Amino acid sequence: MKKSILVTVMLMAIGSYLGQAKWTLNDKQVTELSGDIKSLKVKVNIPKEILNHELVQICIDYTPDDNSREPDFSYCKEFKIEYLKSMDAVELIIVKDGGESPDFKAWNGYVRKHFYFNITGLKDSGLRTFENADLSVRIYGKDVSGYVWEDDKHIPTYKFENLKGYKIKWNLGAVSNSIASGNKLFEIKKFNSENGNSKIDTDDRFDQISSTLKSSDGSSVKFVCRKVDKGYSWNVSKGYSSKSVDNGSILEDLKYAVERELYIVSHNITKEKIPYSKTAFIDDAILASYYPQVLASEKTKPVKKKSEENGKMGSKFLNKVAAYGASSSSGGTSSSSKDAERFIQNRFQYFDWKNAVVGNKECQVLEIQVYKKSQLEKGNSGMKIIESERGKTTPLKIFVTESKGNYFVGMISKEGVNPLTEVESKFWNFTLDSVSFY
């Protein structure tokens, strides 16, 4: 995740300095970095162009050598021109005594403590999917460009000019092939290619792993898998009077929760009318997906025939809807209630889960094509597809499974509206094939 942090930097005035940048590793001048870093300093010129600006901002970035080429974190400090105009150069301490930088720190008001720029744990991180990274120092001119009203205050807006930039390559060493969840319940392999490497994130509190491949055009493909315990729900849409429902098993609860959210994205007014599942994991990718099968404006056909068993289950849920007050106070049926009934009557026909292998495990899989919000507009019967966008869908794949008494839900999706590129397709297939449940 990209972080932008305002910091306090202690600067030291340096005498006349003719070089562009001088990097000092463990008291020795270097042009590249490799392995562990115990001590690192950099001296950089102060460009004369700062005199053309009202303020100066100095930033230091840590940027992995992956396809996104975005800094993982960036610390910045602002100075008045009067403070810097008499200096020829400044020296910045990036690593001291194998630990944090004393020069770059940020105050976090939420936890009420300072955080310091720290790169010393990155080499041995199991999340790393790249061998090289860049450390960069950038100097910006900053000027007021206008004013806006915010909370009854006249707040200035700013423009920036990049005056100077200095960087050095850091070889962090070989990368491990895979990463396991916190309690080692499952693992995935890391995707590496000449066209880009995936970015790995974990949340050991929930045995969760995500792997994201970012493209140079700003879009991305994201995979996430997580262990879910009975009674735990994440990111579920609920209204003030929403009620819960038990679907008979954890796997059925997880599937129902996915279907409900995919429906509510297009019918938000129905969230209080459709019972929710107490056991659920809903990734943001689901909340950004519009499934054409459930759009009221679309005259779609069922993706599978309605079986006798599904009909009975649908009737049970319709009874639930009625019990939760689906009828309007006027004695008729509200539009939101009709939407709710449409979901209950058709969910087994429009959401076609199939048995399929993901990695080393047979799962129940829902694979659909979806639109994004930018491809839809408001119509008389709710959201409808913009005609020029019709057919320009992206894939969304969701799976649920059980392994040794543990239950998992996972999904992979494309952000943006462009079709999968060749490298994104390789990442998609490679990651799903690499999942191993223990």
The tens digit of pLDDT for each residue in 165-192 reads: 999 999 998 889 999 998 999 999 999 8
pTM here is 0.77
**Spatial separation of the C-alpha atoms in residues 273 and 324, rounded to whole Å:** 7
Which of 66, 33, 269 has its CA nearest to residue 172?
Answer: 33
pLDDT band at 385 (very low <50, low <70, confident <90, very high): very high
For residue 112, pLDDT beyond 80: no
pLDDT band at 68 (very low <50, low <70, confident <90, very high): low
**Spatial separation of the C-alpha atoms in residues 271 and 268, rounded to whole Å:** 6
Which of 98, 126, 97, 91 has its CA nearest to residue 35?
Answer: 98
The share of the chain scoring above pLDDT 70, in percent, equals 84
Which of 326, 375, 317 has its CA nearest to residue 347?
Answer: 317
CB 94 within 8 A of CB 73: no
Contacts of 330 (CB under 8 A, 6+ apart): none
pLDDT band at 205 (very low <50, low <70, confident <90, very high): confident
Contacts of 429 (CB under 8 A, 6+ apart): none
The tens digit of pLDDT for each residue in 72-106 reads: 888 888 888 888 888 888 888 888 888 888 877 76
* H/E run at residue 436: strand 436-437
Q: What's the whole-number average pLDDT of the chain?
A: 83
The tens digit of pLDDT for each residue in 242-258 reads: 788 888 899 999 999 99
Determine how many CB atoms are found less than 10 A away from the CB of residue 262: 26
